[in-house]
Amino acid sequence: MTDLEQQVDAFGRPVPEPAPTPPQALLVARWLWIGSVLIGVVQAFIQLLDRPQLIDKLRQLQPDMSQLDLEAAANSGIMFTFLLKAMILLLYVMLSRRMLEGRNWARIVLTVFGGFGIINALITVLTVSLVGSALIRQLTGVAVNGVDVVFSLVVMLVEIAAIVFMYRPDSNRFCQAMRNRRPGNAPTPTGNRWS
């Protein structure tokens, strides 16, 4: 027997209620996460455009390498950087997709990644402002310029915005509703179960 409120199909089987649609806040958060990675791709592209500087850095690290070896190493470094950025982009796309399915674990993982990015940006900005880029280059051999600081700040702001959108009240309600729809999950008023 079916409930009066339960709809049935032509064969008398109960028709499940349609899944709730993700709120606008989660959709915005998804594009912010993807945008933060794409900003990193643009930063890497700008850094790698200066191929002579890249080869000079390699020459300083390995003075006995031939020009052909330096060119090959530069090509390998560029390819590795873009493959790494592509894998990170794929990871963020997959996590944000799970987030739109109401998976709370995906929100947590994205929050942790965003937290690391925010801490990294703060350390970069504070180190450059307190110590100066010349001393950083002298101590570490890594050149940090104004462009790096600007990109770090932009990525940090985008990640903060993404985290805020992920935990808005409508996003929390959506994740709770999706958790309650899964088989084996009874509705929980406190919302303290992981999904």
Residue 188's CB is within 10 A of a number of other CB atoms, namely 11
pLDDT at residue 167 is higher than 50: yes
Residue 32, classified by CB atoms within 10 Å of its CB into exposed (0-12), middle (13-18) or buried (19+), is buried
Residue with tokens 């993404």: 162
CA dist 127 and 108 (Å) reads: 28
Residue 83, classified by CB atoms within 10 Å of its CB into exposed (0-12), middle (13-18) or buried (19+), is exposed
Q: What confidence tens digit (pLDDT) does each residue in 73-120 have?
A: 888 888 898 899 999 999 999 999 999 999 999 999 999 999 999 998
CA dist 82 and 67 (Å) reads: 23
pLDDT (mean) for 1-9? 62
Q: Is 187 left (phi over 0), alpha (psi -120 to 50) or beta?
A: beta
Query: pLDDT-based confidence at 189, cuts 50/70/90?
Result: low
Q: What confidence tens digit (pLDDT) does each residue in 17-53 have?
A: 777 789 999 999 999 999 999 998 898 888 777 778 7
Domain ranges of the chain: 24-176
pLDDT at 188: 53
Q: What is the pTM of this model?
A: 0.76
